[in-house]
Chain A
Amino acid sequence: MLSRVADSLYWMSRYMERTDGILRMLKVNHHSSQDDREGFTWRPVLQIFSTLEEEKIREIEYDGPKVMNYMVVDRNNPDSVVNMVTRSRENARSVQDNITKELWQSLNGFYHKMRQDKLEHALRTEDPMTVLDSLVRQCMLYYGVADSTMFRGEGFGFMNIGKYLERAIQSAEILDGRFSNLSYDMEKPTDTTYWKHLLLSVSGYALYLKRYRSGFEARNVVDQVLFNIDFPRSVLYSLNQLQRYFSRMKDDRNTEGYAKVDFVIGKVRSKVQYSDVQSVSRVGLHPYLKEITSDCYEIGNTLNQYYFANS
């Protein structure tokens, strides 16, 4: 496979994963903002999913409709959903001969939907939840079409590598963002709705209720989002998938590249695999999460160097 094609498929997939993450986060936050009596803040969302400066965050953090507009349809925000989808589609457009027609059409359809003027209007005047739901459905369509039509070749591998790398980074960052409010103290008692929202934003609420019978505790939330291998958005699950898809790239013609990337993936995966909540609290949650995300970025850089020929 052409290096440029592999690169584009990887980014097409990363941007879609990020789109999906933003949309879920916006949904949950919008929902909880409707419950809040003490001035709901959008700060964590803006911190995790945008590059806004502190000053700007302060300006809009209590203004739901503004945040919604900024994060979904604002073309001047490089991290808005419309820009993510545009970039994903632009990557797909340049590799149409390497994806199925169905996948291209699902992304192209999403792109055209994002560019309709009525979207901005609906977001402002109608129920934002309905609008966000319709966009989440586009993401689901993309995932479903990718899974049911894409041929299981190298391209599918790079798509999944992009997807799970992005997911691991996101889950770690969401956890980090939420805990920064609590000064990373896992023993600090907090309102249970706080945890409920965190779990909802990563679609982990139902699983949590089934798995952890003792009610909401910070340590259990950390356990689920970092280590639960049955939870498809946990960091460990994502890294396991990443390793699984990368291991299929083994090829006699690029042994050096394979060894380098395999090493960095293996390193971070074992780090997570052989940690637990106790060991994390000994080093501190924040430094631990920072280390995981920077290891994940290293995976991206190494792929860049040895597989995407961007050196």
Chain B
Amino acid sequence: MALDPHSFQQYLHDPRVWDEMYDNGSVRSPYQKVFDFLQSISADELAKKEELARRLFMSQGITFTVYSSGEGIEKIFPFDIVPRIITGAEWRLIESGIKQRLKALNLFLKDVYHQQFILKDGIVPIDLVYSCQHFLREMQGVSVPYDIYVHIAGIDLIRDSDGTFYVLEDNLRTPSGVSYMIENREITKRIFPDIIPQNRVLPVTHYPSILHKNLVALSPRKISSPNVVLLTPGIYNSAYFEHTTLARLMGIELVEGRDLVVENHCVYMKTTSGLQQVDVIYRRVDDDFLDPLVFRPESTLGVSGILSAYRKGNVAIVNALGNGVADDKAVYVYVPQMIRYYLNEEPILKNVPTYHVAKPDERKYVLENIDKMVVKKTNESGGYGMLMGHMASAKEIEDYKKEILKDPRQFIAQPVISLSSAPCYINGKMQPRRIDLRPFALCGPDGIEIVPGGLTRVALREGSLVVNSSQGGGSKDTWVLA
């Protein structure tokens, strides 16, 4: 029998890595239906489906624009057609683990910007917090509605070789990617009709309505229809598609900094019938750019005076300002302690073992074992400023060591965690690629809700462990089974 090029017969996954579909050469049962289905269609059909997916992304404008030589080129965030599956039992663990973590992180933010018990009790080192670039003294003593700081969290999870989930990082500022959770599902509905209901996949489409409900609840003015807006940096931002999608799905106005003005400590938007007061701002602009009077003076993306309106409680801002102190990669080390301190519970989801290079003994260990480590900058995200010890050249390591010694506070190190692999349809063949998982948790006055699903990011380059879209990553539709 001739080998069908798209079949799994040539699928070779690394036995030291947890593969999502295969277990010792046999297909894991949650994947059986998808596996059978993929086997039942011809290579031509599969190629056609991939092409259909590409066209759908393009025609619906699910793209970002790369500007070069004055001309915009539309790019698609690469999408792999094979879905990633999470069982109901796995999901319940993830869900309870994230809820627990988020609860503790919210309490930490409230504490650190008010009485600072956790610092006084010596659980989290005080110098660590005060040396964090994202710790905002401007937030000290500011009360936020319902004491919620993190309204939207995108907590990144990975799976080690035995299948255990670990938290890789907490994104508590302006996590992105949720529109791909929604759109990837829509594309799957088109390319694999009827397969989703056959597998009893839980829907994700209600995410925008939960978010909208939470945003409305934060309005400082208790009026029947508060004015909720989404603040975007504008059409040149690579996540602009996500901003328009969320605004459209929630039916709220998409605004830019230049559409807003602060008068007498209230925020207004400029409309065709004059100024109209704004109650809640879901901002996708970073803290640094939000108010040129307080932060970067050259920012044209923000609104002058918005921080004063926020501090007065005249406008709610989502996520709160200053959250960066809680998702700093060095503060991350202390999240398990926070859970024990605030909740008196054992953490459900584990942290990846992390060495804080500022501590002399840990620094010594890291420098000696750097070839087995991933070293990251504490204040960077998106996969920038990282050293993958096992792949770097001797010179890269030497240069990086010098960087570390200049300012150890700025670095953490983790052992190379292998990340699970999943089958991807690449160049007409099924091939294993490394993946992670970012579920999106929403925290509102009624508690924390997590839509069953998330963004599965894929490191598309063979052997790569970096899934960030800025570093050649793609994504998959993520199914949580009922």
Contacts and interface: CB of A to CB of B under 8 A. Distances in A.
A309 interface: yes
B267 to A, nearest CB: 13
A236 B240 CA distance: 41
Interface string B1-31: 0000000000000000000000000000000
A309 B270 contact: yes
Interface string B246-267: 0110011111101100000000
Q: Which one of A95, A108, A307 has the greatest number of beta carbons of chain B within 10 Å?
A: A108
A154 interface: yes
B225 interface: no
A109 B59 contact: yes
Nearest to B230: A97
Interface stretch (B79-87, B90-98, B271-279): B271-279
B272 A254 contact: yes
B61 A93 contact: yes
Contacts of A253: 273-274
A168 B65 CA distance: 35
B60 A249 contact: no
Nearest to B250: A97
B123 interface: no
A251 B248 contact: no
A1 B235 CA distance: 19
A20 to B, nearest CB: 21
Nearest to A253: B273
Interface residues of B, number: 27
B247 A97 contact: yes
B378 to A, nearest CB: 35
Given A254-B272, A254-B273, A307-B272, A4 B256 contact: yes
Interface string A205-220: 0000000000000000
Contacts of B326: none
A3 B271 contact: yes
A309 B275 CA distance: 11
A149 interface: no
A3 B59 contact: no
Contacts of B59: 105, 108-109, 112
A249 B61 contact: no
A2 B269 contact: yes
Contacts of A1: 271-273
A4 B248 contact: no
B298 interface: no
Interface string A61-98: 00000000000000100000000000000100111110
B61 A97 contact: no
Contacts of A95: 254
A95 B256 CA distance: 11
B71 interface: yes
Interface string A299-311: 0000000011100
Nearest to A92: B61
Contacts of B234: 94
A271 B74 CA distance: 47
Nearest to B246: A97
A97 B272 contact: no
Given A4-B256, A96-B248, A97-B254, A108 B272 contact: no
A2 B253 contact: yes
B273 A108 contact: no
A104 interface: yes
A58 interface: no
A190 B269 CA distance: 57
B58 interface: yes
B259 to A, nearest CB: 5
Contacts of A5: 253
A6 interface: yes
Interface in A94-126: 94-97, 101, 104-105, 108-109, 112
B244 interface: yes
A194 to B, nearest CB: 40
A95 B245 CA distance: 11
A1 B240 CA distance: 20
Given A2-B271, A97-B248, A108 B60 contact: yes
Contacts of A75: 71
B235 A94 contact: yes
A96 B272 contact: no
Given A112-B58, A112-B59, 11 more contacts: A2-B253, A2-B255, A2-B269, A3-B271, A75-B71, A93-B235, A96-B247, A96-B248, A108-B59, A108-B60, A254-B274
9 contacts: A2-B269, A4-B258, A5-B253, A94-B234, A94-B235, A97-B247, A97-B248, A108-B59, A308-B272
